[in-house]
Structure 1
Amino acid sequence: MTLITPIIPITPAQQQQMIAEVERYIAIGGRHFGRVFEPIPVLFDLKGRTLGMYKIQRRKRVIRFNPWICAKYFDDSLATTVPHEVAHYLADILYGLGNIRPHGSEWKAIMALFGADASVTARFSLEGVPQRVIRRVDYRCGCRDHQLTIHRHNRIRSGKASYLCRSCGGPLRLAL
């Protein structure tokens, strides 16, 4: 039996280093586009399989990072994830999220400006990184068994949703 050593989240010093990189990329964008971009809050509260995320929460822009994956792949996070998320931020300010594709030509141009790899996703081993386990509930239709997330199960129970099988079109019923 192999024991998996849990990953320890990044240190406060590493967090400051990542925040400094966010600020550096924002400054590069500011010089290139000839304007001042507001500083953006950087949080280290992301969980699960996602390394980084640019998000608008309650009308406020924020960049979030997963402190466990950043710890495991710190240098890669600085080189790829930080510019990736800052590029989303700048593309939003410059063009508006509703007007462009998330990883479209505008975003790719900003990544090129940063000299960063414009790959959309990274392939890292998540061994030792805390993962959220999503419970599933067994349902059946006329042709087979289905596993619905607990969220969908609760929506069915509360009468807010019903789901049909994509194969036979029959309603999904709780398996007893």
Structure 2
Amino acid sequence: MIDPIDPEQRERVLERTEYFIASAEEVLERPFDRIPVHFDLRGTTAGMFRADGRKREIRYNPWIFAKYWDLNFEGTVPHEVAHYIVHEVYGPRRVKPHGQEWRALMDYFGADPEVTFKLDVDDIPQRRQRTHPYRCDCREHQVSTTRHNRMLKGTGQYVCRYCSTRLVYAPDDTLPEFSLAGSP
């Protein structure tokens, strides 16, 4: 298993993030807020710009950065800063995420405007989706946490695609026994 980037590398990523925000301020002739930058992203994604209402942040995956330092230092940092700047200039829904405005900013930054990389992430910690046991009249189902929470809140109902009956939560100890026809 690979170790995440060290504090010195984190500082270099923060400085590079600041550099690209300042570069955007210069070319667009307007100031931009300094938003939080976190190193808490897991899974197969190297970076992410996220906006939720007025809360905006950039998240980086410290394990992918550690394994592919040069690629991410040169590519992921300007990629996520460009998303942030385009969001601030054009709003959340007026342009495509990797549209011409984003590509123009990436060109100005001198960065490759490729959207994704093909990387080997076998030794990177992955987030695993938890499932929850449900049942219908004919079988057991494993439901994602998102759907499970919707059903608990009453904002979602799901039915079996085979028998068309509603799925019911069945913690492990309450699952009924099913037998296959012709099995001993």
Please report the TM-score for the alignment, with normalisation by the length of structure 1: 0.82
Q: Secondary structure at the match of 2:93?
A: helix
The structure with the larger Rg is 2
- The alpha carbon displacement at 1:38 in A equals 2.6
For residue 147 of structure 1, report the CA deviation from its aligned partner. Answer: 4.2
Q: Secondary structure at the match of 2:89?
A: helix
Residue 123 to residue 146, structure 1, CA distance change in 2 (3 Å) = farther
Aligned equivalent of 2:56: 61
1:25 equivalent to 2:39? Answer no
How many residues are aligned here?
170
Identity %: 44
CA-atom RMSD in angstroms: 2.6
Any unmatched runs of 5+ in structure 1? 1-5
Matched, 1:40 2:29: no
Judged with a 3 Å threshold, the aligned counterparts in structure 2 of structure 1 residues 155 and 94 are, in CA distance, closer, same or farther, namely closer
Q: Distance in 2 between matches of 1:19 and 1:60?
A: 18
Q: Specify the alignment match of 1:79 in structure 2.
A: 74
Q: 1:106 to 1:145 in 2, by over 3 A?
A: farther
Deviation at 1:172, TM superposition (A): 5.2
Partners of 1:142 and 1:168 within 8 A in 2: no
> Does the C-alpha gap of structure 1 residues 116 and 169 become closer, same or farther in structure 2, counting only changes over 3 Å?
farther
Gaps of 5+ in 2: 169-174, 177-184
